[in-house]
Amino acid sequence: MTSIRAATAAELADWDERTVDAPGGHVYQSRAWAEHRVAAGWAADHLVFEDGSAVLALRRLFPLVVGCSAYVPRGPIPRDEEPAVTADRLTTLVEHLRMASAAVVATDAEIPASTGYRELLASVGFRPIEEIQPSRHRVSLPL
């Protein structure tokens, strides 16, 4: 991935098909979620990569200093592709957000640990942080 840009009106019209209905998609990448977060004080960036895949990035200005934090909720979505492709998308997105004055970027794409995605992100400087949103605890009980 080498380029990313703001979504056009036509791309926004089918946004949820690209980010929710697509393989690996999530409702936290939807237009409705973006509108909900905007109502809570975030700015929503609907962005499209050169291959047509899309990502929602949320930004919030810091209250006392210049810059913002950015959050990519459950994204970028993996789209049934190699984890390295998703990691490359995220790297392109991080550079875009850096140019938009982001000082920190958080992401929590739902990609199995066994794929090596965590190690790919660690190689470009990402590290684990506390949960931004409450997580569910999936458990089972053999009967």
**Which residues are CB-contacts of 97 (< 8 A; sequence separation ≥ 6)?**
57, 59, 70, 105
- Note the pLDDT tens digit of each residue in 92-136: 999 999 999 999 999 999 899 899 999 999 999 999 887 766 666
Reported confidence tier of residue 138, pLDDT bands at 50, 70, 90 = low
Q: What global pTM score does this model have?
A: 0.87
Percentages helix, strand, coil for the chain (3-state, rounded to 5) are 35, 20, 45
- Note the pLDDT tens digit of each residue in 66-94: 899 999 999 999 988 999 999 999 999 99
What are residue 128's phi and psi, to 5 degrees?
-65, 145
What are residue 6's phi and psi, to 5 degrees?
-65, 145
Percent of residues, the chain, with pLDDT higher than 90: 77
Judged against a pLDDT cut of 80, whether residue 140 lies above it is answered with no
Average pLDDT over residues 55-60: 97
2, 37, 48, 89 from 60: Cα distances, Å = 25, 10, 20, 21
